[in-house]
Structure formats: structure tokens, C-alpha cells
Structure 1
């Protein structure tokens, strides 16, 4: 069996940022106000949230400035609630900014954010763990990959709203998003019973898709990239829908139309609830 290796996403950041700036500059005034799959957020709100990501990371990680201390956090849900409040406050405040100002700020903060990321040793402990993968401590390469998925899926939410999502389905952009998100599978399946030697095959269709496997060793599920064992269940997901499942961007009833389960379907059902975001 082939085990996963660290994902190298750093070179993709400036390219992804450039795609975002080109997209935002192409939007009409009405495009900026279009609703998205991100709950009550518009295209403009998501652009504001992406700006927050750049500025918050520079302030906290580069400058070691954390601002007001949060309320006591005793659980994963406490952390999610705290982050949701920060996000909502920021988006509300930035409603007073114009689309051109937002675009200019995103462009001007993208490079210093990338420059900071380049200073990190990929295998040093990250300041923040990747909690949605169940990690208490993560290495920097995984932190970077997690940040890449944030930038990717929020830009794709904008693109979906304005009908320009095809660009980010190219393999160079989409496969790293999927490969990172699939690292949540063992944590997500931690309470799903399995017999020793059981294998679940996850396949995402399309040019940016791929194959991932969960193997049960009698005690826990482990993510592997290759296996010669016959799968107990095979989960095949339409490529344009996979990212929406992992980010709460589609209702289960709708997602089921684009997912095929074969074999022991009980082993495949948890995929509809898997998240690779803090939610």
C-alpha cells in the first residue's frame, strides 16, 4: 500500500491569486451582488472574506499580533463559533468598501502573504493545526495546503455564482484541493465500524479528480493512495460536486444525484457528511 506524502501547494498561491484578480476585474456591478452557495454571502462578501484571510494571517503569523483575545475555547464547536463570529463581523464591516477597493486590497496583500509563507520550513510545527482533519498539531506543509483549499474553494464559490467555474477544475488547481481535503477521511470515519482488511475506494471523476482509499487495520481507518485489495465499497463522485460536498455547498438530497455507491453502501454513506472546512 502507498501512504500519502506531503502536498506541495506553495507555488500555486500566486497563480491562484492572479486568477482571482483577473476574475474580479471582469465582473459587472450586478455580478458582485449575486448570491453564492456560501449561505447568505454574496460574491462581494466572499471577496471580503478572502481579504480577511490575507490580513489576518499576516497580522497573527508574520507579526505575532492577535488583537482581542477570544472567549475561552473548550471544544471544536467553540472554535467554530468563534471563527464564524469573526468572519461575520468582518464581512459586515467591509460592506462599506467598493468592489474596486476590495480588488486592489486583495492584489496588494497577496504578495506579502505569499512572501511570508515562503519563509516557513514545511516540516516545522504550524501555529494552527488542521482541526478538520482531527490533528492536534500539524506541520507547516499541511497548514499551507489547508490555506490553499480555503483560497481555492472560496474563489470557486464566486466562480460558480457568475458561471466561470471551469478554470479551477484544471488538474493543476483542483487535484491539490482534493488531495488535501481527502486527508479528512480517517478522522471523519473514526467512528465508522470496519473489519480488518476492509477497503473503501473513493473516486472523483474529471480531469482534476483521482483515487483515494481507506484501509481498516482492525483498529482504525488509514488513508492510502494505492491498494491491490478488492474494495468493500466504491464511492464515485462527479468532479464538479465533490468540493461542494466538502464545504457544505450542496444539500445532501442534491448531492446524492451525483454520487454512485457500489458494494457495502453503508460504508460509503458517511461521505455525504464529510467536511474539509471549519464548520
Structure 2
């Protein structure tokens, strides 16, 4: 699917993110590993195991061409979600047998191979898996890779939220490409929102790590455009980074996010942004 905005290059950031993850995990106490996180009923250790699964599954399927388990008939987004949720749950349950030391060792090795493999992909070639939360049935590799970056970022941040070390990932270097990728899902989030052609909605994430994104209603639907400073905004949503990442990964609900945010203009147009989900959930 073509994108009106430039591609997002996150390849150099995977090793940075992995180093921060390993340093974080090595600092945890035994009690920290068992703390419950925003990720439903998953503990810190469960999320670390899930991150390992992401590395190993990518290497097995995309690098080695080995698809160990057939998905069966996938006829809808809900079918895909149910299949992925089952795979995730089975893996996390089995990985509870492994020690934190073993998990860290496996994350170090697989993370290096994972990043090396992603660097071999042609950014503009069709990806093996579409970015479904953005409404795409076919995606190019750069968007798939950026989606993978958001997975690693937000799961690490869930661990950091639990142990009170969130600042490391909220820098312009690491947070901006994360939220930039999520914003590519806005047109899909607004697909059923009615408005006159030419209507502009802006989502702004505060601090030097954030930015602004504008949606405009065209004849064929909503699309992202380059930010026009003189655009007449029908609505604007202003989010703090801490609110944005938790909202779009279902860590908090839209009502909680609204209470932490500022909405200008048409309230219903603004609220549609708060209902966007940029993970498979």
C-alpha cells in the first residue's frame, strides 16, 4: 500500500533497543521478574519471553522459511487475532520453565541475528505479513519492520512501566519513530468517521519526542498529509507521550486517555483518534 509520507527507517535502532533491554533485565531482582504488567495477566518475565518469541518466530519463518504451525482458515481480522493470541499464550506458558538467566542469553543471541536478518530485506518489497492494524492487506517491508520496532518498544516499555524506569525509551531518538509508525494507522481508525471533504484533524504528541500529524478527509476517505501550519483544524487531540503509548497499545482505555489529554474543536472527531489501536489486540 502506498504511503503519502516518507518511509520510517528504524533499522539502526534495533541494536540500541536490545542493549537497553538487556541492561534493564540484568538489573532486575527476582521479585521484579514476577511483577504483573499492563499486558493483561503477563508478568515481567512473560513479556521477556514474548520478546524472545518475536525474535525466534521471525528468524524461523522469514529467514529460514519454516512455518511450523498452520494457521488454518483466516477469514477475518478476528480469526487472525485468535490465532496469534493462542500462539502467544502457549509460548509464554512454556517459557515459564526457563530461568531469567537463560532468557537473557537467548535474547542476546537471537536479537543480534534478528536485526541482521531485517537488514537484508528490501525496504520497498512486499512484506510477508501485512500491518493489519493499519488496515493494510499488503504492506512493504519498511512498514513491517517499523511495526516490529513498535512491538519491541512497547513491550520493553511495559516492563519499564512496571519497575519505574520509563525515561530511557521516551527520548526523541527512540520514541519519535515509535509514535510516527503508530500514526500511520490513523486513516484506518477514521475509516467510518463521516465529515465533509477537506476536513482536517490534527493529533499532537507533546515534548521534543512527539510531533504533529494531520488527517484530511478526501473524496476516497481519510489520509495523512504533511503538516500544514495554516490548516484550519476541525479538531485537535493533544496527548502526552506517556498517555499516547499506553492508549494505542490498550494499556489504558479511551476514557482514561481523554482525562489525561486536551481536545479542541469537534469532540466526536477528536475522540475517534483515542479509539485507535496500533497492536494486534
1:189 to 2:190 alignment: yes
**8 Å Cα contact 1:211-1:225 kept in structure 2:** no
- Residue 272 of structure 1 and its aligned partner are, at CA, apart by 2.1
Write the distance in 2 (CA, Å) between the matches of 1:190 and 1:68.
33
Task: Report the RMSD for the aligned CA atoms in angstroms.
Answer: 1.1
Contact map agreement 2:203 2:273 (CA 8 A) in 1: no
Deviations 1:85-134 (A, max 9, x none): 00000000000111111111101111111111111110111111111111
Q: Tell me if the contact between 2:203 and 2:213 (Cα under 8 Å) persists in the aligned partners.
A: yes
Of 251, 254, 275, which residue of structure 1 is paired with 2:253? 251
What pairs up with 1:1-80 in 2 under 5 angstroms? 3-80=4-81
Deviations 1:174-215 (A, max 9, x none): 000000000000011001001111100110012211000000
Alpha-carbon contact 1:80-1:278 (below 8 Å) kept: yes
2:118 matched residue in structure 1: 117
Classify the secondary structure of the residue corresponding to 1:96. Answer: coil
Partner residue, 2:213: 212
SS in structure 1 at match of 2:9: coil
Aligned to 1:268: 270
Structure 2 unpaired stretches of 5+: none
Give 1:100's aligned residue: 101
Distance 1:211 1:247 in 2: 19
- TM-score, normalising length: structure 2: 0.97
Alpha-carbon distance in structure 2 between the residues aligned to 1:202 and 1:216: 14
Gaps of 5+ in 1: none
Taking the aligned partners of 2:203 and 2:80, their CA distance within structure 1 comes to: 29
Partners of 1:194 and 1:218 within 8 A in 2: no
- Tell me if structure 2 keeps the 8 A contact 1:236–1:260: yes
For residues 88 and 250 of structure 1, the distance between their equivalents in structure 2, rounded to whole angstroms, comes to 21
Q: 2:172 and 2:33 mapped to 1: Cα distance?
A: 27
Q: How much does 1:252 deviate?
A: 2.8
Match of 1:277 among 258, 270, 279: 279
Aligned counterparts of 2:231 and 2:253: Cα–Cα separation in 1: 33
Distance 1:107 1:219 in 2: 46
Shift of 1:3: 4.0
Bigger mean CA offset, 211-220 vs 32-41: 211-220
Separation of aligned partners in 2, 1:74 and 1:10: 32
Q: For residues 169 and 225 of structure 1, what CA distance do their matches in structure 2 show?
A: 24
